[in-house]
Chains A and B, each alone.
Chain A
């Protein structure tokens, strides 16, 4: 597909006539958009991907860029605050576990055993079922060298995947977008939350982010007139870069510049973005409203996963979705709080997986969880745990090879009271990038990390 701003392709008369009419509704837009895309510079930039995918779901070749109806999808679940990995994937058979956590440790009988050494938190029953079904895997002991115990810094490290860099401007998924989807529309990534996580931030591509689909729309009272004021008026001559009056005195620097910034160009850019936003907002709201699924837990996490499932079901051409579950910073009275979080987590993921199965999309989706760090082996005096290091990650999906990966870190051979990691988190990222998203991981992670034998090819 030609990029819009060349604008010089000859336009057949019939289509030129079509262009004269303002495009006022999404429906008209979808009907006309396809024929107009190649020829007019004022068409919303992203539609060459998205509208194609939505309007022509059977056009496989087209829709696979970047994801579309058949592409693989990654869903990242962030557990914010530092999830207690030791009480999530419990080394129940280790006496050191019970010694370190006299009141916080789970009773052997309650633990949902995965093998003769580890088992799941008692509230993770729904995930135990997925595990037995071959749709859940646990990667044990994930961390990185010289672990940082600050929430902010460690979260930055997991997001950027650049532990050695002090100040990071982009994230590992953002770099994946930058590398793989040059010219992609912002729908390649969708994050549910109040701001775009660093992990998703690219230098060239800014994925979508919103708290709820209802916040991703125009909320003024007069929506019809709003549309009229923001529509693209095709009857006006398109503001091609070279036609704008420039000061006669000097030529603008042409090098490295794609477009000259003029008031008319800026307005045109805003109109196009407004049109993009409207089409995208309508689609997403329609998908979410029309989505019939139950079993999700109450709260932001459950509704976030439900929204993601609706967008996957609706055929949004998204490669990576991002949702968060917060509240894991359990320094005091961990027991009740962590039980609740585990229940919310297990129920949410299970509902999501069965939703996808009902849609027939379960083979396309891989879910990966992480937290910025695990917690100290020994419980503290307040019935909680302090910031620690390595922790397990979960992976969910149909294409998994094994249930348990990596090695559970020793509970006695510790580093300042904390676990020594056995798997570098960048190995997990590399595996997901290479074996799931089919992207070379080295340009994204800066180094070639050993991949895990995790995904069925």
Chain B
């Protein structure tokens, strides 16, 4: 491993700069969705290196392969199979026509199935066995963006989600090959309409502009020839199919190379482009560490990825153990994404993530619905999450979640639709002073030092004889602090 940039050197704890609870919580926030006090303590004990090894130690496999029962539960949907697997069994011994009819029937409750799939995923983020795998899955969902809008099949969206999970820390080159065959992606970027006679350039363009190289690293001719190479890459409603008769077998010229290319050849040539590795590596860095990279960092990260043959794990290991990762610019400087806010709040409060039926309105008003990115560019993130409307929704959502209240005033919907938030369990330590209780909850929820003035406000809000109700009120105030928006 090279670690050519000084900021990528491993962070070594010292007495001046110990690996304390703040740093451990930082790691759990960025490489997951936050840690409760016991988890933070465990990570402090492990130390920065072992903790990252532990976080990265997950199987490169879909959730279902890891635990067979770990699949979205569709049993509450009328006329739907219990889960997506059963759909396959419905097809057995059916004609093409009959299969179409089944697909059409499933499509009618598609939105509900999408909702259940998202609920399943968010609970996996909060309480699943491998937080970093889910964090990476979320990253790649925002990268290889696909939206369920336009009634895209829930079954295909789930399949894609599993592909993202399986490959999230694997080999990027193989990842791009897999995504280029992913049915939901082929649909979303119209490669199903990329015909030999009428090429559709949508996938070919975004493959380079957004997925691998960034704008300005290719010509319009490259796009045309790439599109021709991807003609005939389609799916049959369930799986990838290569329609040979619809594939352009002519000679294509792409980035200075000529031949009878197919999609895999195009991807291979792209992987050799010098812009590819720095583009991907720095995007990961921005997601996990901070947005504005110092000079030379993107190149250093890129060469590390290239030297490891596009294996992502070593790069992630370097990033998450680096000096940059634990620098003052990184800790507490990231604005939580709406998903981080909702999942993290559930996690820190030790509660189930409310179902998407309840959270949909809030997530949408905050600007991040899983399976619903605004466009193929994904979520801009950072300060773009925040404006006067979204900030209220963020405060109100977190407040309602920790208070066990209804989200009705938040979404403007009738309480009947919005009820269902469960009271989090809050134990009041009878022996604790108000100051100690406030300190405890700040450590649990904000995980960084807070100004004395603000602590005073919280202590006063708690009152002299804290009861569950006043503790709850104080917790609501903590999650309504600007500090809680950051991690």
Contact = CB atoms under 8 A, between A and B. Distances in A.
A225 interface: yes
Interface in B312-333: 323-324, 327-329, 331-333
B412 A195 contact: no
Interface stretch (B27-35, B155-163, B218-226, B453-461): B453-461
B391 A261 contact: no
B3 to A, nearest CB: 13
A277 B391 contact: yes
A245 B328 contact: yes
Contacts of A168: 375
Given A220-B476, A229-B480, A253-B294, A269 B395 contact: no
Nearest to B206: A167
B364 interface: yes
Contact of B409 (A150, A214, A271): A214
Interface stretch (B58-66, B67-75, B118-126, B382-390): B382-390
A249 B331 CA distance: 17
Contacts, number: 168
A230 B388 CA distance: 13
Contacts of B294: 247, 249-253
A267 B409 CA distance: 27
Contacts of A217: 392
Contact of B411 (A211, A226, A250): A211
Contacts of A214: 409, 412
Nearest to B405: A219
Interface in B383-431: 383-384, 386-389, 391-392, 395-396, 399-400, 403, 409-412
A201 B290 CA distance: 26
B263 interface: no
B178 interface: no
Interface residues of B, number: 65
Contact of A247 (B7, B461, B477): B7
B457 A194 contact: no
B111 to A, nearest CB: 13
B335 interface: yes
Given A221-B473, A225-B477, A273-B391, A166 B482 contact: no
Given A220-B395, A233-B453, A262-B329, A250 B150 contact: no
Interface stretch (A113-121, A202-210, A412-420): A202-210
B236 interface: no
A281 interface: yes
A280 B454 CA distance: 24
Nearest to B457: A228
B333 A274 contact: no
Contacts of B454: 228-229
A174 B7 CA distance: 40
B486 A263 contact: yes
Contacts of A280: 388
A247 B327 contact: yes
B485 interface: yes
Contacts of A247: 7, 294, 323-324, 327-329
Contact of B477 (A206, A222, A269, A274): A222
Contact of A194 (B7, B297, B361): B361
B83 interface: no
B190 interface: yes
Contacts of B291: 261
Contacts of B7: 247, 249-250
Given A209-B389, A225-B460, A249-B6, A219 B365 contact: no
Nearest to B294: A250
B357 to A, nearest CB: 14
B296 interface: yes
Given A215-B409, A225-B461, A230 B292 contact: no
Given A218-B480, A219-B399, A222-B477, A169 B374 contact: yes
Nearest to A269: B383
Nearest to A229: B481
A276 B461 contact: no
Nearest to A44: B388
B415 to A, nearest CB: 13
Contacts of B395: 218, 220, 226
Contacts of B476: 220-222
B477 A262 contact: no
Nearest to B335: A266
A70 interface: no
B364 A219 contact: no
A49 to B, nearest CB: 13
Nearest to A268: B482
B332 A218 contact: no
A252 B291 CA distance: 11
Contacts of A251: 294-295
Shortest beta-carbon contacts, A-B, top 8: A270-B482, A211-B412, A277-B388, A250-B294, A263-B332, A220-B399, A263-B333, A249-B6
Interface of B: 5-7, 149-150, 190, 202, 290-297, 323-324, 327-329, 331-335, 361, 364-365, 374-377, 382-384, 386-389, 391-392, 395-396, 399-400, 403, 409-412, 453-454, 457-458, 460-461, 473, 476-477, 480-483, 485-486
Given A211-B411, A222-B461, 5 more contacts: A215-B412, A250-B294, A251-B294, A263-B333, A281-B392
